[in-house]
Structure 1
Amino acid sequence: MSKPIVAIVGRPNVGKSTLFNALAGKKISIVKDTPGVTRDRIHADVDWLDHKFTMIDTGGIEPDSNDIILSQMREQAQIAIDTADVIIFMTDVKQGLVDSDAKVADMLRRSHKPVILVVNKVDNFNKMMADVYEFYNLGIGDPVPISASQRSGLGDMLDKVVNYFADLNLEQEEDERPRIAIVGKPNVGKSSIINKITGESRVIVSNIAGTTRDAIDTDVKWNGKDYVFIDTAGLRRKSKVKEEIEKYSIIRTVTAVERADVVIIVIDAVEGVTEQDAKIAGIAHENGKGIIIAVNKWDAIEKNDKTVYEYTNKVRDILSFMPYAEIMFISAKTGQRLPKLFDMIDFVIANHAMRIETGVVNEIMAEAVALQQPPSDKGKRLKLYYITQVSVKPPTFVIFVNDKQLMHFSYTRYIENKIREAFGFKGTPLRFIIRERKEDK
């Protein structure tokens, strides 16, 4: 089942980021501080009353003049309409109702998507309610007063958000076909790969960054097996600004990755791995998906006997937070190694859903502990009692220990490496949850 997606739309300075940060809680960062991976998070996982959803912030583009503000808001609203299941439309009680609010409200109303009208900066509910009521004039339902900075009113707002989830048909359980998201920067050849695989130019490809229309699902049959490919090329915009194209492509990436089992991160062999690639890879990693890194345009590279080795090291170095990812060198243009891609997808899917028996994984852990003593602090030594796998996609293990504080990240990584040595788990991240159990007297 895929998680619902909730987008926040609104004028500059109405408090979108404040709300986003209040709901997203702590800023999650990727294991190793890769430059630019989490600096401008625009998506976060939110839990509310047994509901989990992904929130995207469409803001962060703060133009200076009024007509630009309106056109930007329309862009943001369009992105939200295209990608979100529920939209939070944010206004500001102190600035009051503004013309551009009304224009964007019209757009949202016409989209027939569920919209929750939120009036922010209501620091005193009793005194300011009269001002809040003014927003009824937008004609998109009851305004919900909140103060994002004081975190008041957020519960009522979230209740309204999750109420809409019941109507969303997010159950994809009956569709057992593996879902493969093809992600990457504009122009790395995502659509070309799908075209080559399907043998038809179904996606319009041209050489201008951001020319493909919306994200499209393509059904592919290969060797008698069915797959669904999700193409994230869908950038509907003719933007001059590189940062904007990047930002929107990241939002599209988030929504595609959420729905996928395996993510193929496409990198341009000629350009090499960039910071933007690291950001996109980070999204797939955080979401715990199976991962294949496909270095495309490999036909355009001058090669000697060390080229693959050197290139692999470069990729591993920049994407050091995902050493488990599988790397392939392909060419969408010539079709080089595309058949192998399906073998790799099947391999990664199997690993992503692999279960290890409790007895076996405990043997591995006992052996690991015998080989390398757990850390100690002030005379107290870490004891690992028991490990068990609690879920798959990605494989997730719970380790019971005597003291969580003593279980350093590096020792968890050591146990992970030992499990990988025994079972492979190539192409999939592993998750570890550390639980404390008091020592049995």
Structure 2
Amino acid sequence: MDKFYGSIAIIGRPNAGKSSLFNRFCKQRIAITSEIAGTTRDVKKATISLQNLPFLLLDTGGLESKDALFQNVSKHSLQTGENADLILYLVDGKTAPQAIDKEIFYSLERKNPNIFLVVNKIDNDREKQNAWEFMEFGAKQMFFVSVSHNRGILELENAILSALKNDALEQFFNQETQEDLEEGLEFSQEDCEDSTQQAQEELINIGIIGRVNVGKSSLLNALLKGERAIVSPIAGTTIDPVDEKGEIKGQLVNFVDTAGIRKRGKIEGLEKFALQRTREVLGRTDIALLVLDASAPFVELDEKIAGLIDEYKLGVIVVLNKWDIAHKDFKGILEDFKLRFKFLEYAPILTISAKNGRHIQKLEEEILKVYRNFAFRIPTAKLNAILKEATKHHPLPSDHGKIVKIYYATQFEIKPPQIALIMNRPKSLHFSYKRYLVNFLREHFDFSGTRILFIARGKNDFEEEES
């Protein structure tokens, strides 16, 4: 990704929690966290997504002047903050305000007024009451968070989006869009072939998820054509996620057999750690294979696990395993599935038996197909032509008599496909009309196995909408 809505620099003295906040925004452990001051020295960069929008995040070294090395680290960190679109100045809320923090904060604020004071390690309301003494910084915007407990992070994300709502957003959409609109509306098979070729050059990360003892490890072995994961009738045998690389028709893939997920009351010891690791795995997964046990009725826990797919916006294939001992016919199980998993109506469903190899080859083909859909980019001119046709067939409803228009659209991201609608009244885009547009797109493109995310926005207002 080479376009960003803005850059965000995390600045602060050692042990304020900068790298932990960096990892929290990245949804994975990229920066090493340690109680040893000065662990981070170089500026680490990462592309993050806040409410489906791309930002460049910068994790800087701690501001400390011990020796020549740390003086250079501090100098580099300050320069990074001065050049960023937004500074998050992090302080340790467990200690009283430090004079050195105020001095650094004021110095940064003079050179870059777009700065937030973020008071970290505020784990509960009692600590928050004691932390109000940080008001003496005079910061225009101050936030109390606990990175380790994910407390206050959503509020901070919303404030970041609001602060970076400027002319750069308009340029982000306009650069490519106007050029593409002038190219005409032709669309050929080459577009699909280009997308396929690009996908083959990448490694597809496939997470195998489901509750305990549904056959995830057996499925992994069947896909890899060998005994690569331990299979046992004892529920919860797999603790750590198992990464295994392989190939499907020349395409490099990485399968991750995640630890089985139990009900909360039954999570003990290592399995509690396994649940945490499973979420970490999904943060770096492209396609999720949701494994359901066809030999027994679905349960509430199946729905909760499936909800992780929606949370992480993954491509998905539903795998009905143990089909050789299914408790109902396909029609009956499909009816049960539609009742419980309405939010996965776009997902392909396969019946397999990992034990005897039923439909494993078909599953492999579906993985490649869903990934192509997940990574597919619609040419802007073609996208606008389709949406123009959609609005012609079914005009946008007015907003209390006021006309609502879509000026143009552009797909600004893939994995999953994310489309921006530039409108005169973005808040007037009703969810039912948005669903109509999604279905209209699905009639023209094969987006099975992947969501389509919409963002409606105007020149002076932004509002995320997703389907």
Q: TM-score, normalised by structure 1?
A: 0.60
1:200 counterpart residue number: 226
Q: 2:364 aligns with which of 339, 342, 346?
A: 342
Structure 2 residue 252 is matched with structure 1 residue 226: yes
Unaligned runs of 5+ in 1: 2-45, 56-82, 90-117, 127-143, 162-174
Q: 1:253 aligns with which of 278, 282, 298?
A: 278
- Residues 47 and 379 (structure 1 numbering): CA distance in 2 closer, same or farther, change over 3 Å? farther
CA contact (8 A) 1:377 1:406 kept: yes
Amino acid at match of 2:282: V
Q: 1:404 aligns with which of 399, 410, 426?
A: 426
Q: Distance in 1 between matches of 2:337 and 2:273?
A: 24
**CA offsets per residue over residues 213-267 of structure 1, 9 Å max, x none?**
41111122333433110110278x9x99525598655433311211111110100
2:385 counterpart residue number: 363
Q: Percent identity?
A: 36
- Residues 423 and 334 (structure 1 numbering): CA distance in 2 closer, same or farther, change over 3 Å? same
CA contact (8 A) 1:122 1:145 kept: yes
Q: Distance in 1 between matches of 2:370 and 2:442?
A: 14
Amino acid at match of 1:212: T
CA contact (8 A) 2:22 2:31 kept: no
1:328 counterpart residue number: 350
CA contact (8 A) 2:427 2:456 kept: no
Q: 2:266 aligns with which of 242, 255, 271?
A: 242
Structure 2 residue 216 is matched with structure 1 residue 190: yes
Q: Distance in 2 between matches of 1:414 and 1:156?
A: 39
CA contact (8 A) 1:298 1:329 kept: yes
2:242 counterpart residue number: 216
1:285 counterpart residue number: 310
Q: Distance in 2 between matches of 1:350 and 1:145?
A: 42
- Residues 209 and 436 (structure 1 numbering): CA distance in 2 closer, same or farther, change over 3 Å? same
2:444 counterpart residue number: 422
Amino acid at match of 1:393: K
Q: 1:299 aligns with which of 316, 324, 333?
A: 324
Q: What is the SS of the residue equivalent to 2:220?
A: helix
CA contact (8 A) 1:121 1:147 kept: no
Q: 1:316 aligns with which of 327, 338, 345?
A: 338
Q: Distance in 1 between matches of 2:123 and 2:266?
A: 33
Q: Distance in 2 between matches of 1:420 and 1:408?
A: 19
2:172 counterpart residue number: none
Structure 2 residue 25 is matched with structure 1 residue 52: yes
- Residues 432 and 145 (structure 1 numbering): CA distance in 2 closer, same or farther, change over 3 Å? closer
Structure 2 residue 412 is matched with structure 1 residue 387: no
Tell me by how many angstroms 1:309 deviates: 2.8
Tell me by how many angstroms 1:381 deviates: 2.9
- Residues 408 and 255 (structure 1 numbering): CA distance in 2 closer, same or farther, change over 3 Å? same
CA contact (8 A) 1:293 1:326 kept: yes
**CA offsets per residue over residues 161-190 of structure 1, 9 Å max, x none?**
9xxxxxxxxxxxxx9321111111011100
**CA offsets per residue over residues 275-333 of structure 1, 9 Å max, x none?**
22222221122222110010100110266xxx223322321221111221111111111
Q: 1:375 aligns with which of 397, 410, 431?
A: 397
CA contact (8 A) 1:122 1:147 kept: no
Structure 2 residue 299 is matched with structure 1 residue 274: yes
CA contact (8 A) 1:234 1:252 kept: no
Q: Distance in 2 between matches of 1:215 and 1:252?
A: 7
CA contact (8 A) 2:217 2:257 kept: yes
1:432 counterpart residue number: 454
**CA offsets per residue over residues 128-181 of structure 1, 9 Å max, x none?**
xxxxxxxxxxxxxxxx7646533958789869x9xxxxxxxxxxxxx9321111
Q: What is the SS of the residue equivalent to 1:425?
A: coil
Tell me by how many angstroms 1:424 deviates: 1.9
- Residues 210 and 363 (structure 1 numbering): CA distance in 2 closer, same or farther, change over 3 Å? same
Q: TM-score, normalised by structure 2?
A: 0.57
CA contact (8 A) 2:317 2:348 kept: yes
